């Protein structure tokens, strides 16, 4: 897989995470839970955010960052 392909894959993961979190916020702002259910509503939001973060982390692990060769010196050491 080329460096560009890896970058594109990581960009897709980031875009999906941000879009999912935006959708989640929009969905939950439209809900107005009655007061006795406020804690349950907060727990639902927390669970959904945790899920989206886990999905993004898993996808990023499958597409790890490739170090930029231009950041290495002549001797191969990181600058």
Please provide residue 66's backbone torsions phi and psi, each rounded to the nearest 5 degrees.
-95, 125
Predicted structure pTM score? 0.56
pLDDT at residue number 8: 86
Report DSSP state, residue 41: H
The candidate with the shortest Cα–Cα distance to 63, out of 17, 20, 25, is 17
Report, as an integer, the average pLDDT of 59-73: 68
The candidate with the shortest Cα–Cα distance to 24, out of 40, 46, 39, 57, is 46
For 2-60, the pLDDT digits (tens) are 778 878 888 888 888 888 888 887 887 777 666 777 778 878 888 888 888 888 888 88
């Amino acid at each position: 897989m080329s460096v560009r392909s890896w970058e594109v894959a990581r960009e897709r993961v980031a875009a999906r995470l941000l879009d999912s979190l935006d959708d989640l916020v929009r969905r939950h702002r439209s809900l107005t839970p009655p007061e006795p259910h406020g804690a349950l509503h907060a727990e639902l939001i927390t669970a959904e955010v945790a899920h989206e973060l886990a999905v993004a982390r898993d996808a990023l692990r499958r597409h790890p960052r490739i170090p930029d060769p231009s950041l290495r010196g002549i001797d191969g050491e990181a600058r």
